Amino acid sequence: MVCDSVIVPKSDGNMRISVELVELNKNVMRELHLLTKAEYSLNLMAGAKIVSKLNANSGFWQIPLDKKSSYLTTFITPFGRFRFQRLPFGIASAPEHFQRRMCQMLEGIPGTICNMDDILIWGSAQEEHDQRLTEVCNK
């Protein structure tokens, strides 16, 4: 399978390659991993005095694809064929897979919760917050 691609201008003047993954997505097996509801997050944060929010910029790209999956993402451009070696945006199961990985990474660290690429870290005092923030950043 080879996917088509299109070059799309971004608002900052740069270009983005967009890959048409429609056919691939018809065959992707979705995994069930629910997103955290805002009400649940707010209840967990009761008593928080200091809160930080981190954003995992281009977070999907932190997840490597195995070789077989990588070949399924092959796309063609005027410059030749290419394939993703990291999880690209546009694959139907990417959000659930990414959310599960983020939750696994934060497991066991109190005062943390993630919703997609946003990580909330809180504490009832500066020292507690900073210790948790350091632990997350060291992951």
Mean pLDDT per 10-residue section of the chain, whose length is 139 residues: 82 86 86 70 85 89 91 89 91 86 92 89 96 94
Considering the segment(s) 5-138 as one domain, its CATH architecture is: 2-Layer Sandwich (3.30)
Could you report how far apart the first and last alpha carbons of the chain are, in Å? 36
Tell me what pLDDT residue 136 has. Answer: 95
Residue ranges of the domains in the chain?
5-138
State how far the Cα of 132 lies from the Cα of 121, in Å rounded to an integer: 7
Tell me what pLDDT residue 86 has. Answer: 94
Structure tokens at 24: 């691939």
Tell me what pLDDT residue 34 has. Answer: 67
pTM of the entire predicted model: 0.74
